[in-house]
Amino acid sequence: MNSRVHRPRVLLLMTPTTYRAADFLGAAEAAGVDIVVGTNRAQTLAGLAPDHNLTLPFDDMVVAARRARAYAARCPVDAVVGVDDEAVLPAAQVAAALGIQHNPVAGVAATRSKFAQRQAMVAAGLPTPPFMASRDVPDAAEVARCVGFPCVVKPASLSGSRGVLRVDRQADLAGTWERVSAIVEQARQEARQGIEDDRILVEGFLPGREVALEALLHQGELRLLALFDKPDPMDGPAFAETLFITPSRHPPAAQAAVLAAAGAAVAALGLRDGPVHAEFRIDGNEAHLLEVAARTIGGLCSRTLRFGTGMSLEEVVLRHAGHHEVPSLARETAAAGVFMIPVPAAGTLQGVSGLEEARQTPGVVEVVLTVPVGEEVRPLPEESCPLGFLFARGPEPGEVEESLRAAHASLQFHIRPATA
């Protein structure tokens, strides 16, 4: 008699350039699941057998679904999880093709378009700033009348604040629109698959401090995992995300407003299962949705989070996907934070100094550089790739913030300016 305990098989969809592969693969054994990785370009990830790597073209769901069904006929798949932005919609489509639990494809598709998200909020009767979208530069007088200034111009489908710019005056709208249009076109040329929504959104600027919510949906119930403060002001003209600190220091009423607004937003989109990452502006005790994604927090930021007896966020997601018990969703009591290191100037990265000082900063637990020496770099809004990540832990959020700021101040990035 075979007493082997069934190990759920989870198909992870990701792009080859994702930061997240190693953390998800490392969490698989602890979560008690078998991992199969599907990417939109042929590759074999270290640590996985060749037959655990699938090539699934994200821009051709007919072929992707056929390949996924053929694989599942040999090796049944219990769940499909999209790891990064480009993979969340294909994950829902592949799960639908396999006939297994998934979020509604239309709802996930709406998370990939900031314009569609705004439309969904309006349809549900939820508050939203005035907005409009176009592929061509709109009339500045119409924007003044329908949206108002200051406003924010942003690509509908790009992430990480890429292409997001504040515009304060009618006279600046056309030039900003041209700049954002060029960023969208550059992203289209870089992508192996198309951009889901190539329109540009213009919406009213929301005042207040930004926060990021991490949560898990189970049968439509939103379960809070963490709420991150973003202590640096996010007022433009570009919107570089740097510090994420948890637990939040906002008043309980404001935090409750964020959770309530997140629950209303995912319900409006029809999302019912899996990880949720959402961004809000808090103004007083009011929470205003910026955007919501059907995935976990991006980059390596999830390394700030530990649950129960030490579970990573990836382990929580994989346990949930594999229908394994999650012993506890309670975050550790210590404060934690991450500093995403922004690119200070365009050019070629020549080297980094001050690494030892950063690593020895009290409270700092990890320093990770993600851009190799010799690579071309560009700051926001043209690019959104950070130079690396600093991680810290401590008894209080304020101490963690101080540690991260001190560690960042000790680093010097030597960048040779780009030649004309």
What are the structural domains of the chain? 9-109 (3.40.50.20), 130-204 (3.30.1490.20), 335-420 (3.30.470.20)
pLDDT confidence tier of residue 3, bands split at 50, 70 and 90: very low
| Residue 218 and residue 320 in contact, taking contact as beta carbons nearer than 8 Å | yes
* Rounded-to-integer distance, Cα 80 and Cα 317, Å: 11
pLDDT(1) > 50: no
pLDDT(419) > 80: no
Buried b (16+ CB within 10 A) or exposed e, 164-183: bbbbeeeebbeebbeebbeb
Mean pLDDT of the chain: 93
* Rounded-to-integer distance, Cα 27 and Cα 12, Å: 12
Cis peptide before 417 (omega within 30 of 0): no
Write the pLDDT tens digit of every residue in 163-221: 999 999 999 999 999 999 999 999 888 874 456 789 999 999 999 999 999 999 999 99
pLDDT(385) > 80: yes
Q: Nearest-CA neighbor of 191 among 155, 240, 166, 242?
A: 155
CA dihedral (345, 191, 185, 159) positive or negative? negative
CA dihedral (265, 269, 271, 277) positive or negative? negative
pLDDT(409) > 80: yes
Write the pLDDT tens digit of every residue in 338-383: 999 999 999 999 999 999 999 999 999 999 999 999 999 999 999 9
Q: At what angle do helices 252-269 and 114-123 cross, to 10 degrees?
A: 100
pLDDT(119) > 60: yes
**Predicted local confidence at residue 327, as pLDDT:** 85
Average pLDDT of the segment spanning 33-46:
81
pLDDT(387) > 60: yes
pTM of the model: 0.94
pLDDT confidence tier of residue 2, bands split at 50, 70 and 90: very low
Write the pLDDT tens digit of every residue in 52-100: 889 999 989 999 999 999 999 999 999 999 999 999 999 999 999 999 9
pLDDT(47) > 80: no
Provide the percentage of residues in the chain whose pLDDT is more than 90: 86
Element (H, E) at 86: helix 85-98
**Predicted local confidence at residue 45, as pLDDT:** 61
Average pLDDT of the segment spanning 316-324:
94
| Residue 262 and residue 201 in contact, taking contact as beta carbons nearer than 8 Å | no
**Predicted local confidence at residue 16, as pLDDT:** 85
**Predicted local confidence at residue 40, as pLDDT:** 86
Provide the percentage of residues in the chain whose pLDDT is more than 70: 95
pLDDT(291) > 90: yes
**Amino acid, single-letter form, for residue 364:** V
**Predicted local confidence at residue 420, as pLDDT:** 56
CA angle 318, 320, 321 (to 5 degrees): 65
Average pLDDT of the segment spanning 227-252:
97
Average pLDDT of the segment spanning 274-291:
96
* Rounded-to-integer distance, Cα 6 and Cα 72, Å: 16
| Residue 326 and residue 316 in contact, taking contact as beta carbons nearer than 8 Å | yes
Which is higher by pLDDT, 41 or 71?
71
